[in-house]
């Protein structure tokens, strides 16, 4: 595997990061997971816009332009002969002085690597079992809106799902309202209206989530952002997730209880499929 490391393409065996890198020590960094489709990054502008918003919040400089990184992404796909893949872009503050202060960390570290992606079987799309995790995310907090490298809350929530035998965990916030999945955004359907938690609830502004928000008006499907307790999922007409890797994924169980199915999910899946190409 060839990876991109601070401006150079190198074999993965040579792709090393300093043990003093602040991303490693403190989670002082950002990342994006981007789908590569037919050798090109899907929804690149939206991913880089979110990365830059996170960098602005952290006062962290991304050392390459969006256009430069797009070219690298396509070249990386070609070099590895992986036209279908997941690209992981990582940027940290780099090496600085010991301690939490970012003082002296003036050379950001950036890497890009590819990972195999599960094939999308459009004729038999996956369905997922989810559980509502006990661990919570903060409501109305700016850090929940960026894709930082500090994901301990999501790791612990996913461990809860693993212990339950589920595929994914849903997180609620400190107000008890639904927020998101550990690696996806959440939607539910009631009376032919799609609902999703607002960003203020602690949801990441997911790129695929935003695509769903764009698609619904074109499909004449009402969509609303609304705070809600987990119980709403047990009476919903359908539940689904949006995910960079898997696309639109229907939920079949919530906390071991069978979720209702709605044809609206299939409409969203088909529209996503057409966007993906």
Q: Which tens digits make up the pLDDT trace of 55-94?
A: 999 999 999 999 999 999 999 999 999 999 999 999 999 9
Mean pLDDT of the chain: 96
Say whether both 176 and 268 belong to one domain. Answer: yes
Q: Give Cα separations from 221 to 49, 172, 176, 211 (angstroms).
A: 27, 26, 27, 13
The CATH number for 25's domain is: 3.30.470.10
Q: What whole-number distance in Å separates Cα of residue 49 and Cα of residue 224? A: 23
**Same domain membership, residue 93 and residue 163:** no
- Same domain as 161, residue 82: no
Query: Residue 218: helix, strand or coil by DSSP?
Result: helix
Residue 277: its pLDDT value, please? 82
pLDDT value at position 119? 75
Same domain for 150 and 178, yes or no, is yes
Question: 92, 115, 138: which is the final residue of a domain?
Answer: 115
On whether both 249 and 131 belong to a single domain, the answer is yes
- Give dist(CA 172, CA 255) in Å, integer: 14
pLDDT, mean of residues 176-186:
98
pLDDT of residue 166: 98
Flag whether 135 is in a domain.
yes
Say yes or no: 104 and 142 in one domain. Answer: no
Least Cα distance to 22 among 111, 69, 91, 87 occurs for: 91
121 within domain boundaries? no
Residue 251 lies in a domain: yes
Domain of 254, in residue numbers: 127-276
Residue 182 has a pLDDT of 97
> Residue 148: which CATH number?
3.20.10.10
12 plus 109 within the same structural domain: yes
* Number of separate domains in the chain: 2
Helices and strands in the chain, H and E counts: 7, 15
Three-point CA angle 65, 66, 70, nearest 5° = 120
Q: Are residues 136 and 247 in the same domain?
A: yes
Query: For residue 88, is it within any domain?
Result: yes
Give the DSSP H or E segment for 261.
none
**Per-position DSSP letters for 222-253, written without gaps between them:** -EEE----TTHHHH-SEEEEEETTTEEEEEEE
- Whether the per-residue pLDDT at 13 is higher than 90: the answer is yes
Mean pLDDT of 230-240: 98
Is the same domain home to 59 and 26?
A: yes
pLDDT at 121: 77
73 shares its domain with 191: no
The yes-or-no verdict on residue 122 having pLDDT over 80 is no
Q: Are residues 139 and 252 in the same domain?
A: yes
Question: If residue 158 lies in a helix (H) or strand (E), which one and from where to where?
Answer: helix 152-164
Q: What is the pLDDT of residues 195-207, one digit of tens each?
A: 999 999 999 999 9
């Amino acid at each position: 595997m060839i990876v991109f490391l601070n401006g150079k393409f190198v074999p993965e065996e040579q792709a090393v990061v300093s043990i003093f890198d602040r991303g490693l020590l403190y989670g002082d960094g950002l990342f994006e997971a981007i789908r590569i489709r037919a050798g090109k990054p899907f929804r690149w502008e939206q991913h880089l816009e979110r990365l830059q918003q996170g960098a602005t919040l952290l006062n962290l400089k991304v050392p390459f332009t969006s256009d430069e990184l797009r070219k690298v992404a396509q070249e990386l796909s070609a070099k590895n002969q992986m036209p279908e893949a997941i690209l992981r872009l990582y940027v940290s503050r780099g090496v600085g002085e010991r301690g939490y202060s970012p003082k002296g960390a003036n050379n950001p570290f950036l890497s890009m690597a590819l990972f195999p992606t599960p094939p999308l079987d459009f004729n038999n799309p996956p369905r997922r079992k989810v559980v509502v995790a006990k661990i919570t995310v903060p409501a109305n907090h700016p850090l929940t809106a960026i894709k930082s490298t500090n994901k301990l809350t999501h790791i612990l929530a996913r461990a809860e799902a693993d212990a339950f035998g589920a595929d994914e965990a849903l997180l609620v916030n400190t107000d008890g309202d639904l927020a998101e999945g550990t690696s996806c955004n959440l939607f539910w359907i009631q009376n032919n209206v799609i609902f999703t938690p607002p960003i203020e609830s602690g949801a990441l502004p997911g790129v695929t989530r935003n695509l769903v928000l764009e698609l619904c008006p074109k499909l004449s499907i009402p969509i609303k952002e609304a705070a809600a307790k987990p119980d709403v999922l047990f009476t919903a007409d359908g539940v689904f997730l949006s995910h960079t890797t898997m696309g639109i994924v229907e939920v079949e169980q919530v906390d071991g209880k069978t979720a209702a199915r709605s044809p609206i999910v299939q409409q969203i899946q088909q529209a996503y499929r057409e966007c993906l190409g």
